[in-house]
Structure 1
Amino acid sequence: MNKRDTFLKEFRGQTIGSVTSQSSTEESFQNEVLRPVLKLQNDLFIASFINYVAKNKADFYGYTTEKKLLVIENAIQKDIKFRNALKGMIIALFTADEYAGYINNSSNLNKRMMTMLIERLKSQVQLFDSNQNI
């Protein structure tokens, strides 16, 4: 294992969730790679979404909580440019071997990635109100 791979694995931290011999390849990748990366990058995702809102949804802070949750979901699902930027923030923290595994099943892993990211941002929707003036 090269220095970058060792650094990334130590930097990201341990597996989040259980991985057993019955775990599918996707589930293992999710718990060993995606969850730790999403946790590590959380502050960057929050800052990125605040920037997205500032540029694209000026009235976001006046929305009801339900409407804010819809905006979060739609931003990630339908704004391809924003979605790709978020994917880049995640993929950048893969090792070369993890990336090789990712490209073999990128469609399903992208769905998992974005679903987890949407839920992560939705669960922190209250942070967007307190960061309104950033």
Structure 2
Amino acid sequence: MNNRDEALLQLRGEAIGEIFPQSSKDEIFQNRTLRPILKLQNDLFIESFINYVNKSKSDFYNMGTEKKMAFIDNAVHKDIKFRNALKGMVMAMFTVEEFREYILNSSDLNKRMMNMLIERLKDQVQLLVNPK
């Protein structure tokens, strides 16, 4: 393992969530890799989403909670450029070995990653305020 990988693992900390002998490879990857990265990168995701909202010229800040939730879903699922930027923020924190594991099942892992990120944004909708 190289210095970059060691530094990343130390920065991210321990797995989040339990890992059992019967856990699937995707579930193990989720708890060992994705959850710690999402937690570490949380502030960046919030700022990125606020920037997305401001550039989209939407009325997000005046929407009700339900509409905000739908906007978050739509932004991450439908806007490919935004989704790819979010994926990049996560993947940049992978070790080389994690990247190798990720590319073996990237489709399913991307779904997990984006669903967890959507839930993270929704859980923090009160932080998504206009910085102006």
- Fold conserved (TM > 0.5)? yes
> What is the match of residue 46 of structure 1?
46
Alpha-carbon separation, structure 2, partners of 1:97 and 1:128: 34
**What aligned pairs does 1:55-74 form with structure 2 within 5 A after superposition?**
55-74=55-74
- After superposition, give the CA deviation of every residue in 1:46-97 in whole Å (9 maximum; x if it has no partner): 0000000000043111111100000001000000000000000000000000
Q: Return the offset for 1:106.
A: 0.1
Flag as ranges the 4+ runs of structure 1 deviating above 6 A: none
Alpha-carbon separation, structure 2, partners of 1:113 and 1:13: 18
- How many corresponding residue pairs? 132
> What is the match of residue 115 of structure 2?
115
- After superposition, give the CA deviation of every residue in 1:91-134 in whole Å (9 maximum; x if it has no partner): 000000000000000000000000000000000001113xx125
Instruction: Give SS of 2:51's match.
Output: helix
Alpha-carbon separation, structure 1, partners of 2:102 and 2:91: 9
Instruction: Give SS of 1:133's match.
Output: coil
Question: Identity over the aligned pairs, expressed in percent?
Answer: 64
Alpha-carbon separation, structure 2, partners of 1:6 and 1:123: 31
> Which runs of 5 or more residues in structure 1 are unaligned?
none
> What is the match of residue 95 of structure 1?
95
In the superposition, the TM-score normalised over structure 1's length comes to 0.96
Q: Does 1:133 align with 2:131?
A: yes
Q: Return the offset for 1:21.
A: 1.3
> Which runs of 5 or more residues in structure 2 are unaligned?
none
Q: CA RMSD in A?
A: 0.8
> What is the match of residue 10 of structure 1?
10
In the superposition, the TM-score normalised over structure 2's length comes to 0.98
> What is the match of residue 104 of structure 1?
104
